[in-house]
Amino acid sequence: MFALQPELKIFSGSANRELATRICKGIGVPLGAATLSSFPDGETYVKIEENIRGRDVFIVQPTCPPVNEHLMELLIMVDAARRASADRITAVIPFFGYARQDRKDKPRVPITAKLVANLLCAAGVDRVLTMDLHAQQVQGFFDIPVDHLYSLPVLIPYLRERLTRKRVVVSPDVGGLKMASAYSQALGTNLAIVAKQRKSATETEAQYLIGEVEGCDVLLVDDLTETAGTLTSAAKLLKKNGALDIYAGVAHAVLADVALERLQKSEIKELITTNSVPVRTVEGFTTTVLCVSELLGESIKRIHNDESVSSLFKIDSGTP
């Protein structure tokens, strides 16, 4: 006899409930009922309001600002689901906070990305579904399966329509070269790199350009922008080197106040990003937010049905 497939249940933390609602609508399942609140002293309280015994549970919660609050909420939701006898718990983390702290680059500093992975495993997570990790090696910090998605298939169709003239893909730093190369191949363009020097946690300086951008529209690509220092500094250098319109394609736009100010005054014409986190916008600056609910929803269905997720990475060749 074959065992019956456990029922699929999707719950959402408070970080991006709109995305979770869109995921549920797309795959035709209701969003699970859960109470999320805080005690007067700030402690998080969670109660799952329906039976999940033996269910295949997915909890959608990007760990975006306030990072610690959303991370703790996710851990508590996982613990509640485990103690309610869920069959399997998958943490759906469209944006994985602390991913930049993935190595010891100075004496006496933590590897916080590994600590967060340990916390998720200890809480009872059986599987992680995430997107555009800052460093792919973070997958190896988990002792459980990790499905790592990319926003590229979501952004590319829009970018093909938006960038119609001669175009170049630019990585705003050497570390983003692999991502920029993937966009360059998908769009059929040349590739350039901006070398930068970091002055502080919020300020960078673009020093020189490797490649040719004169007379071209430029797409700056990055996995994450928080202060927009890297992007705006690179855009200024690109303009000096003869670039025409400059666009920024970013998987996660975790925009602080300083980022909004910088973007408004920058040489960047448009920021194209996803709704992996709630996106702040600024008056007088064009921000296009593309929805990743279909990508995440299809991944959830495939994980639930024990099907391959890797085929979701493929995109059609299109017309360069």
Tokens of 31: 């969003």
Give the model's pLDDT for residue 204: 62
Q: What angle do CA 303, 307, 313 make, to 5 degrees?
A: 85
In the block, which residue shows the tokens 């035709």? 28
Give the model's pLDDT for residue 32: 98
Q: What's the pTM value of the predicted model, to 2 decimals?
A: 0.93
Give the model's pLDDT for residue 105: 86
Give the model's pLDDT for residue 97: 95
Residues of the chain with pLDDT under 70: 1-3, 196-206, 314-320
pLDDT digits (tens, 9 = 90+) for 127-182: 999 999 998 889 999 999 999 999 999 999 999 999 989 999 999 988 889 999 99
- Domains of the chain in sequence order: 8-150+294-313 (3.40.50.2020), 152-291 (3.40.50.2020)
DSSP string of 99-120, one letter each residue: TT--S--STT---HHHHHHHHH
Burial of 272 (C-beta count, 10 Å sphere; 0-12/13-18/19+) = buried
DSSP-derived pairing of the beta strands 44-48 and 34-38: antiparallel
For the annotated catalytic residues, the residue numbers are: 196
Q: What is the dihedral of CA 311, 135, 253, 183, to 10 degrees?
A: -50
Crossing angle (nearest 10°) for helices 17-27 and 293-304: 60
Give the model's pLDDT for residue 200: 60
Q: Are 93 and 110 in contact (CB under 8 A)?
A: no
Give the model's pLDDT for residue 270: 97
Q: What is the mean pLDDT of the chain?
A: 93
